[in-house]
Every structure is written in C-alpha cells, then in structure tokens.
Amino acid sequence: MLERPDIPTLEQVEKASREQLAKWYRFLPSGETPQQQKVVDRIAVRFKKMGGMTKELSQRIGYGGI
C-alpha cells in the first residue's frame, strides 16, 4: 500500500484514461519513495505514449493551456 492516498496504484495507472493520466501527470508530486516514483514514472510513460499534453487537454483539466 502506498503511503499517500493521492498517488494511484500501478493497476489504476494501467486502466486510466488519457485525461486522468494528464491530471496525475500535471498535478501529482514526483514521489517520495521508490515505489511512488515508479508509479509516477509509469504515468509519464503511458501518458506520452497516448499523445501527451495538448492545449485543449490542458484547459480541460484546469491548467489553462500548455
């Protein structure tokens, strides 16, 4: 179990939509433990493979553009 409830599990990352990955990619901390860092790294890899950030996606998740 991860110590931070805001860090998803690897299973959640594998099932996440591009929009959910974008939210995690943009707003999650980098991870305090090796396990958390592994999750954060996997978010980045999956998100980039799905096309990464666009201006529209950035606005949709509440970041106001790239």
Q: What's the domain range around 29?
A: 10-60
Say if 3 falls within a structural domain.
Answer: no
Residue 28 · residue 6 · CB < 8 Å: yes
How far CA 62 is from CA of 36, 57, 58, in Å, comes to 24, 9, 6
Question: What's the pLDDT at 2?
Answer: 47
Model's pTM, two decimal places?
0.85
pLDDT digits (tens, 9 = 90+) for 37-60: 999 999 999 999 999 999 999 999
Q: What is the pLDDT of residues 10-35, one digit of tens each?
A: 999 999 999 999 999 999 988 889 99
Inside any domain, residue 4? no
pLDDT of residue 12: 97
- The total number of structural domains in the chain stands at 1
Q: What is the rounded distance in angstroms from the CA atom of residue 24 to the CA atom of residue 4? A: 13
Answer whether residue 18 is part of any domain: yes
